[in-house]
Amino acid sequence: MNSAARNSLLKLFPGARTDVPFSTLTTMRVGGNAAVLAEPGNTGELQSLLYIIREHDLPSLIIGKGSNLVVSDRGFDGVVYRLGGDFKAIEFRGDTVIAGGGAGLAMLSRMAAERGFSGLEFAAGIPGTVGGAVVMNAGAHGEDISGITAEVHTVTLNGVTETVSGESVKWGYRHGIDDSRIISTTIFKIFNKSIDIILKKMDNNQNVRKDSQPTGFSAGSVFRNPEGGKAWQFIRDAGFSGFKMGGAVVSDKHANFILNTGNATAADVAGLIRAVQKGVREKFGIELIPEIRLIGEFEE
The catalytic residues are: 174, 221, 291
13 Cβ contact list (under 8 Å, min separation 6): 38, 39, 40, 45, 49
User: In whole angstroms, what is the distance from residue 179 CA to residue 109 CA?
Assistant: 24
Q: Which residues lie closer than 8 Å to 256 by C-beta, 6 or more apart?
A: 221, 222, 223, 230, 231, 232, 235
SS3 assignment, position 143:
strand
Q: Where are the beta strands (DSSP E) in 166-233?
A: 181-189, 191-192, 217-218
Rounded-to-integer distance, Cα 114 and Cα 267, Å: 42
Start-end of H helices in 40-139: 43-55, 105-114, 130-136
Round to whole Å and give the CA distance between 92 and 103.
13
The helix/strand/coil state of 92 is strand
